[in-house]
């Protein structure tokens, strides 16, 4: 139970949020007050605010300060009842705090109380009268913190978009018909399907009559890229072992073959499609990538997926490798100045939920065949901060892509979810702005 309710400080220390000077000062003040009030360790910490990023970041900073004071801190899950969770984890004291940014001030307000139950209380559990104190402190909020809090001030909602009788091999989106809204393209081992923004099927290309590759993948895998200006779709199917470039004909519901090839289209750059060679029999691509008729460059290793955030200035690229590591590059995918991320899932992608050119990282659980699966939204940074997460009732996320389905530049995330019965669902995830 303790593992479910508590987040150990040692685990958080391996990937702390980016330091914020004003939050650091406030955490130090609150920690000093807690120690000064004679709190009995271990001390449980319950923090609430209207920003998931601010909540998690401040809880980490406060826990670090209390750890240095040898108070044995533990951070409670935001969804748990603080008193019950603190008792279940063996805490002797509980800190409850509300955080808010108001009139240029970062304010923390709450209380400190004991958690142990008097043996003589009987069925009516009572807390000890000591330690008990009101906690309040404030500091001037710097500009970075205000932006940090606003960035995390979102909730997200999942809904169904489409269902397929077989598993998805790849997903992509782009404006194929020129109406300002993205179409969604799903690849399976049987067909390529083009969906309208409202989920209607616009076109299909049947692959079942085509010859299979002599070295197909054990599970559905491939890559899809939409070329909006040309009304074209490029895809690679591991089952076929080849790529096809198709032209979408609006109004006719057809996909016309333009040409075939051996390389896989793995992502779009600012001005071209990037191609790579698939590793025979595997759901990975070789490290050498590049646009046609250009000198290729290396990502440093075979990779699962390459995502591009083209709404950002400069563009952002995310390459995810087997094992859950990833690299992020800004400006050009070949940029040597990349930073490394860890513990990402096979389903990962960049999504600009707000349409402001600041993509978030949407990723699945880093565990192999997780039960249950979890979708996470991370603030994209060298030390990413968890903005939101949700457990899926069933299924596993294998693909993530972004789509502007209403022409507002606010993107939604599309999740390719494999179901236990061998089917798949394309799920839509949107940001819900604060009221």
Instruction: Tell me the whole-structure pTM to 2 decimals.
Output: 0.69
User: Looking at the structure, do residues 140 and 192 belong to the same domain, yes or no?
Assistant: no
- Structural domain for 174, as ranges: 155-432
The domain boundary, picked from 151, 186, 219, lies at 151
Q: What are the pLDDT digits (tens) for 301-346?
A: 999 999 999 998 889 999 999 999 999 998 888 876 788 998 899 9
β-bridge partners, 75: 7, 45
Query: So what's the pLDDT on residue 146?
Result: 61
Residues 6+ apart with CB under 8 A from 140: 22, 104, 105, 106
User: Among 94, 128, 151, which residue terminates a domain?
Assistant: 151
217 plus 304 within the same structural domain: yes
Same domain? For 163 and 127 the reply is: no
Same domain, 103 and 221: no
Q: Are residues 369 and 225 in the same domain?
A: yes
pLDDT at residue 222 tops 70? yes
Q: Which of 10-14, 26-30, 60-64, 305-309 has the lowest mean pLDDT?
A: 10-14
Q: Are residues 226 and 121 part of one domain?
A: no
List Cβ neighbours of 343 (8 Å cut-off, separation of 6 or more).
Answer: 15, 324, 366
Q: Which of 85, 117, 151 is the last residue in one of the domains?
A: 151
pLDDT in tens, 107-118: 999 999 888 754
CATH number for position 129 = 3.40.50
- Summarised one tens digit per residue, pLDDT across range 302-312 is 999 999 999 98
Q: Specify the pLDDT at position 314.
A: 87
pLDDT tens, position by position, 40-65: 999 999 998 767 767 888 899 999 99
Same domain for 385 and 238: yes
208 shares its domain with 289: yes
Runs of H (alpha helix) within 78-194: 82-88, 143-151
**Using CA atoms, how far apart are residues 24 and 62, in angstroms rounded to an integer?**
8
Report the DSSP beta bridge partners of residue 235: 224, 244
CATH of the domain at 195: 2.130.10.10
Q: Are 170 and 129 within one domain?
A: no
Per the structure, how many domains does the chain have? 2
Residues 371 and 284 in one domain: yes
One domain for residues 390 and 424: yes
CA dist 266 and 191 (Å) reads 18
Main-chain dihedrals φ then ψ at residue 403, nearest 5 degrees: -155, 135
Tokens encoding 305: 């997926």
- Same domain for 229 and 329, yes or no, is yes
């Amino acid at each position: 139970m303790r593992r479910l309710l508590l987040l150990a400080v040692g685990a958080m220390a391996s990937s702390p949020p980016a330091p914020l000077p004003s939050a650091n000062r406030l955490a130090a003040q609150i920690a000093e007050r807690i120690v000064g009030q004679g709190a009995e360790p271990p001390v449980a910490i319950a923090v609430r605010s209207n920003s998931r990023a601010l909540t998690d970041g401040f809880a980490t900073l406060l826990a670090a300060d209390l750890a240095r004071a040898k108070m044995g801190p533990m951070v409670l899950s935001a969804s748990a009842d603080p008193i019950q969770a603190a008792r279940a984890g063996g805490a002797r004291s509980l800190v409850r705090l509300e955080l808010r940014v108001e009139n240029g001030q970062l304010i923390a307000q709450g209380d400190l109380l004991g958690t142990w139950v008097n043996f003589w209380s009987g069925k009516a559990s009572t807390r000890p009268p000591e330690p008990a104190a009101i906690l309040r402190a404030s500091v001037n909020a710097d500009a970075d913190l205000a932006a940090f809090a606003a960035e995390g001030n979102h909730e997200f909602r999942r809904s169904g978009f489409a269902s397929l009788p077989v598993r998805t091999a790849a997903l992509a989106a782009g404006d194929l018909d020129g109406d300002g809204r993205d179409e969604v393209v799903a690849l399976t081992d049987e067909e390529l399907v083009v969906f309208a923004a409202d989920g209607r099927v616009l076109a299909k290309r049947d692959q079942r009559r085509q010859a299979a590759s002599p070295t197909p993948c054990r599970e559905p895998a491939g890559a899809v890229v939409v070329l909006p200006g040309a009304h074209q779709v490029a895809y690679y199917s591991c089952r076929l072992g080849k790529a096809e470039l198709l032209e979408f004909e609006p109004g006719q519901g057809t996909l016309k073959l333009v040409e075939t090839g051996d390389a896989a289209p793995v992502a779009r750059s600012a001005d071209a499609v990037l191609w790579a060679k698939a590793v025979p029999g595997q759901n990975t691509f070789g490290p050498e990538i590049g646009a046609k008729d250009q000198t290729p460059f290396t990502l440093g290793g075979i990779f699962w997926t390459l995502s591009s955030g083209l709404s950002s200035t400069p563009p952002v690229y995310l390459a995810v490798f087997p094992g859950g590591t990833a690299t992020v590059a800004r400006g050009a995918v070949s940029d040597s100045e990349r930073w490394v991320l860890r513990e990402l899932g096979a389903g990962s992608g960049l999504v600009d939920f707000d349409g402001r050119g600041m993509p978030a990282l949407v990723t699945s659980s880093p565990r192999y065949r997780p039960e249950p699966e979890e979708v996470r939204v991370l603030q994209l940074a060298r030390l990413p901060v968890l903005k939101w997460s949700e457990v899926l009732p069933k299924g596993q996320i294998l693909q993530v892509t972004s789509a502007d389905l209403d022409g507002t530049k606010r993107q939604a995330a599309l999740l390719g979810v494999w179901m236990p019965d061998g089917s798949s669902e394309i799920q839509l995830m949107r940001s819900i702005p604060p009221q």
